[in-house]
Amino acid sequence: MDVKDAVLARKSIRAFDATPVSRKVLEEILETALRAPSWGNTQPWKFTIVGGDPLTRIQEEYVRLFGEDVPPNSDFEMPTEFSDAQKVRYQGLGKGLFQALGIEREDTEKRNTFYENMMRALGAPHVIYLQLDKGFNPYALMDGGTILQTIALLAVEKGLGTCFLAQAVRYPDVVRKHAGIPPDQMLVMGMAIGTPIQDHPVNLFHSERGKPEEFFRFLEIP
């Protein structure tokens, strides 16, 4: 598969087949992804790849806390403020996803089921948790992004789907407890990984992108 095809084929998968991915395939993806660049080659990342009973325990507690309206307690705050352009895109995503799923604006029950499903990592058999040492430098977040996207692209080549999931680290103490992650490890991001349910309406949804001129300025480039 060429790189451009992988980039264009990658998208957030939000409905997974529960069948586990083999350890061998996960190792191949993750070990290859270690070639991702990092600040000064510091490779600040650590990962815990969770499936089976520990993942079920994490998710049961997530669903319970979410059901009790316990607010997120992420190791670093999720974005709440956006520029106008970003707000439009953010709202467009929500609208597009609910439309794909046939969920009406006022249907709180179905919306809650959608979010509850996110607490269950969208049915994925595994979640890859990205950890950084407590007190990490913000550059390490860049490094985390480079390797997670590399993982996502390598997964495409294997016929697998992924979804970056900030929601998977909304209750980090729960993950630390059930996945045996020490308290000096910050949980930065979760990534659901597994086989996509190809024809699920949520997976047929395609997110939009702005026009190139919204993002790029070329100076003195012939």
Ligand X SMILES: Cc1cc2nc3c(=O)[nH]c(=O)nc-3n(C[C@H](O)[C@H](O)[C@H](O)COP(=O)(O)O)c2cc1C
Using the contact rule CB under 6 A, the part of the chain among 18-26, 32-40, 60-68, 158-166 near ligand X is 158-166
164 near ligand X, judged by CB under 6 A: yes
Rounded-to-integer distance, Cα 123 and Cα 29, Å: 20
Which candidate, 189, 192, 175, places its Cα nearest to that of 58? 175
Single-letter residue type at 189? M
167 near ligand X, judged by CB under 6 A: yes
12 near ligand X, judged by CB under 6 A: yes
166 near ligand X, judged by CB under 6 A: yes
Would you say 14 or 178 has its CB closer to ligand X?
14
- The DSSP string of 61-122 is HHHHHHHTTPPP--SSPPP----HHHHHHHHHHHHHHHHHTT--TT-HHHHHHHHHHHHTGG
Would you say 170 or 178 has its CB closer to ligand X?
170
Rounded-to-integer distance, Cα 201 and Cα 35, Å: 34
Using the contact rule CB under 6 A, the part of the chain among 41-49, 50-58, 80-88, 160-168 near ligand X is 160-168
**CB of 64 within 8 A of CB of 174?**
no
Interface map 14-53 toward ligand X (x if CB under 6 A): x---------------------------------------
Interface with ligand X (CB under 6 A):
11-12, 14, 93, 118, 163-167, 189, 207
